[in-house]
A and B are shown apart, each in its own frame.
Chain A
Amino acid sequence: MIEHVLTQIEDLNKKIEELNKQVSSGASVLEMLHALSTIETLSRAAGKAPAADFAHDLAQRTERADGDKLQRIVRVGLELLLDVLNESSSGAEEETPEPQEPPRPPAERAAPPAAASAISMPSSIAQDPELIGDFINEAGEHLATIESEILALERDPSANAPLHAAFRSFHTIKGLAGFLELHDVRQVSHDVETLLDRARNAQLAVTPAITDVVLEAADYLKRAVAWVAAALRGTHGNPPETATILARVRRALDGKLEPSAPAVAAENAGAAEPSAADKLSSEKPAAEKSGEKSGETTFTLRVDAAKLDSMMDMVGELVIAQSLLTHSPELARLEGSGVQRNLQQLARITGDVQRMAMSLRLTPVNQLYAKMTRLVRDLSRKTGKAVRLELSGEDTELDKTIVEHLADPLMHMVRNSLDHGLEMPAERIAKGKPAEGVLRLAASHQAGHIVVEVSDDGRGLNTEKILRKAREKGLVPEGHHPSESEIHHLIFEPGFSTADQVTDVSGRGVGMDVVRKQIQILRGHIEVHSAKDAGSTFLLKLPLTLAIIDGLIVQIGGGRYIFPISAVREMLRPTPEMLFTIENRAEMAMIRGELLPIVRLERRFGIPGGVQNPCEGLFVIVENEGRCFCLLVDSLIGKQEVVIKTLGETFRHVTGISGGAILGDGRVGLILDVNGVLREPVRA
């Protein structure tokens, strides 16, 4: 018996040796897979289950690798396999022969694997950040699939397709995890895979308890992936706790599972590491899915985001160079020659390249919707309110940065709606509304803007309560009677919350001002419409492209400043009769019957040499959050489409300037952030 095992181990080692040789001789994937399969069989026969499992996972990984990654994976995998073998052997009583060939360390990474007699598994693969990065990306995609499939399963427990899809995803994650020696992850994936397998073979009923536990398992996996991602960046936290979820899954397998207490998934998995997996995942996972739905396959490529950004920069410089060329006075003198025609052609092509480059960064808003669906489901369970989520405009495309930055604000607003906006079913019926509340998310393009609507048919904003709270906090002075729209905007003040109790979900008073800040970072703004008992509608309006704006170039002192045209209401040169001073401090201008405050930009920014007498300068009238202001500048230089360049870390704390731009003459102009200019107290 012992001899039998010994022979098998010898065979095993020989096989591994062969495979090693094959790898260096450039054997084909098929040959390697064949060899790995033999190794697996031999391992099982020799009673080395861990080694067999590992060989299986390695085969799965190999199948999907290519190029020189393939070689690296197999080579490193084989070392580990040998270690696994030796480790399980060292615990056994039989004599084991020495491995025939000492494992060769991977060519690129200098760190050698630890001695085979070590108790813990050496993770030489773990020293390859690229492979780990792949794991994070792929796992992230699969987890997204799992979530949407299970949610679909909840709506229709008899559907089989979601079961298959979820099964495949857990199976893949299992393999990926095994390859990286994440044993707990592998175990959980394996058990859930078994659960789903039984479900799809009709051996297990799909009950809410089952879908709950699968979603919990997915959350656990998300936390695990986030932990790996953090470790990759050098932040070593505590790995997520496995025992609980494993126990629940096992109980589900034994048919003894109770429905869990509703936990808000987004809090557990999302809060700690906001969608690290999503952020790192490929550019167009949603496109792939929508392709599947319609029956066609859209061919997508995974592109390194950094390369895309570099290309965007270069396209930006191309546009500037082209523009300088087209507007160059010397070339303008060559009228009627072929040069003009060619320049126009160049301008046209450059415009096309630019539009195409911008569109590369666009992803459909679907990605966000998926997150919201999950959130709404969890929240509705938790609060006990019946909610129907209506989504529209799923195909609306946004710049990927916008999508990333919108996730948090949207979640805040959805929470607010569900917590404060929508009433409990009983209350709704008493008001004559249907018991089920409606939460609507709609995305659309409107005249150069993206509009994302979050609306509910709940209580609406309580203007009396808001005004009272604002007066208490001193935000609204005595005797001042703000308009309804101004009252609505008060909810964006920091620390504002009219909630009577701070609930777990929201109402801590940190919500809306953070939301507004986040929207402002995207150079957008929020509109509020609300009516008592009818509901509230929040409109998030964002510029279509982050990179280009139509600018009005003005002179202030010695510098050139740029107003985004969208911020400007009008411009005029004031006359002395229009100017008023209140209490010797605040300067105002009477524009068409309205008194508007004057802001001297040269004082606001401390720019020397600006025009002092408004009548010798220019008023740029802007609107910000429902109020209009007159900003004083020296003169108007012109209008220009400019590419926004961020000023970078150095200028992070500067308020009132949102970036820089290269002007037509090559000089740098500073782009004004109207909101930032006005928020700072005006220095007398």
Chain B
Amino acid sequence: MAAALTLKSAPTDSTVKTDARAGKYLVFQLDREEFAIPVQSVREILGMLEITHVPQTPNFVKGVINLRGKVIPVVDLRLKFGMEAAASTRSTSIIVVQVQVVQAQGAQENGPRTPLLMGVIVDAVAEVLAVAAADIEDTPSFGQEVAVPYVMGLAKIKGKVKILLDITQVLTTGELARLDFDAFSH
């Protein structure tokens, strides 16, 4: 064909990487660590509710819940990161996040990518924080051969380190997403 169809996607922010990570984050706690995810991906925050277990799933997939008529999967983030399971306390919460699902291979092409809602169980939800570019440091590589793609960086605010998570990446990898926490905290 004579015409070459070059389809450019919508123009993305061609700004510096650190700027893209700055913004408002929801901070939550898992064990002794504090994590933060961008608020745009947060749909709502719920207290713990009854989770229906689904058989044949990895242990970090706790099951499904009824979110006002929608059935959504729930993941225990502690287990997903390879931490020990913990009993629910009064502050245990479920954060409902919206992730963009990458089409699995061989999956039916059904048009626009439907965003997926998933719940993540966390020990406690802390606060919403504005993170400035200046506060963000790149994830140091601790001699790990494999980069940790779902950690976008570290934010140091008031002397405490918060691990900035790309929650989509965390939830769409099928396996356990181990993090070397000792390396992160100091």
Closest to B63 in A: A668
What are the residues of chain B within 8 A of A648 when measuring CB–CB?
71-73, 116
Closest to B68 in A: A317
Q: Are B3 and A127 in contact (CB under 8 A)?
A: no
Q: Are A316 and B69 in contact (CB under 8 A)?
A: yes
Q: Mark each residue of chain A from 397 to 424: 1 if its CB lies under 8 Å from any CB of chain B, else 0.
A: 0000000000000000000000000000
Q: How far is the CA of A120 from the CA of B116 in the complex (A)?
A: 41
Closest to A521 in B: B108
Contact of A645 among B5, B71, B116 (CB under 8 A): B71
Interface residues on B, range: 20 to 34
Closest to B74 in A: A650
What are the residues of chain A within 8 A of B5 when measuring CB–CB?
123, 126, 132, 228, 231
Contact of B56 among A111, A228, A313, A654 (CB under 8 A): A654
Q: Are B52 and A668 in contact (CB under 8 A)?
A: yes
Whether A668 touches B3, Cβ cut-off 8 Å, given contacts A559-B53, A607-B55, A649-B104, is: no
Q: Mark each residue of chain B from 133 to 160: 1 if its CB lies under 8 Å from any CB of chain A, else 0.
A: 0000000000000000000000000000
**A145-199 interface with B by 8 A CB criterion:** 180-185
Q: Are B2 and A126 in contact (CB under 8 A)?
A: no
Q: Are A662 and B69 in contact (CB under 8 A)?
A: yes
Q: Are B3 and A126 in contact (CB under 8 A)?
A: yes
B1 close to A (CB within 8 Å): yes
B87 close to A (CB within 8 Å): no
Q: Are A667 and B118 in contact (CB under 8 A)?
A: no
B57 close to A (CB within 8 Å): yes
Contact of B112 among A227, A306, A605 (CB under 8 A): A306
Query: How many inter-chain residue pairs (CB < 8 Å) link A and B?
Result: 121
What are the residues of chain A within 8 A of B61 when measuring CB–CB?
650-651
Q: Are A666 and B66 in contact (CB under 8 A)?
A: yes
Closest to B51 in A: A668
Interface of A is mostly: mixed
Q: Are A126 and B7 in contact (CB under 8 A)?
A: yes
Chain B proximity of A547: nearest CB distance (Å): 13
What are the residues of chain B within 8 A of A129 when measuring CB–CB?
7
Whether A668 touches B64, Cβ cut-off 8 Å, given contacts A651-B57, A657-B55, is: yes
Residue among B57, B64, B118 with max Cβ neighbours from chain A (10 Å): B64
Q: Are B116 and A647 in contact (CB under 8 A)?
A: no
Chain B proximity of A597: nearest CB distance (Å): 20
Q: How far is the CA of A280 from the CA of B5 in the complex (A)?
A: 19
**B51-99 interface with A by 8 A CB criterion:** 52-57, 61, 64-66, 68-73
Q: Are B57 and A182 in contact (CB under 8 A)?
A: no
Q: Are B55 and A605 in contact (CB under 8 A)?
A: yes
Q: Are A183 and B1 in contact (CB under 8 A)?
A: yes
Q: How far is the CA of A446 from the CA of B11 in the complex (A)?
A: 53
Q: Are A667 and B101 in contact (CB under 8 A)?
A: no
B4 close to A (CB within 8 Å): yes
Closest to A309 in B: B114
Chain A proximity of B122: nearest CB distance (Å): 18
Q: Are B54 and A181 in contact (CB under 8 A)?
A: no
Q: How far is the CA of A126 from the CA of B8 in the complex (A)?
A: 9
Q: Are A184 and B1 in contact (CB under 8 A)?
A: yes
Closest to A401 in B: B110
Q: Are A305 and B8 in contact (CB under 8 A)?
A: no
Q: How far is the CA of A184 from the CA of B3 in the complex (A)?
A: 8
Q: Are A654 and B55 in contact (CB under 8 A)?
A: yes
Known: A181-B2, A183-B2. 18 other contacts (CB 8 A): A126-B3, A129-B7, A183-B3, A232-B7, A279-B111, A280-B111, A607-B53, A607-B55, A647-B54, A648-B71, A648-B72, A648-B73, A654-B56, A655-B56, A656-B55, A657-B54, A660-B64, A668-B71
Could you give 19 example pairs across A and B, Cβ below 8 Å?
A: A111-B11, A120-B2, A121-B2, A123-B6, A183-B1, A183-B3, A184-B1, A231-B5, A242-B1, A320-B69, A558-B53, A605-B56, A646-B71, A647-B64, A648-B71, A651-B73, A654-B57, A667-B52, A668-B71
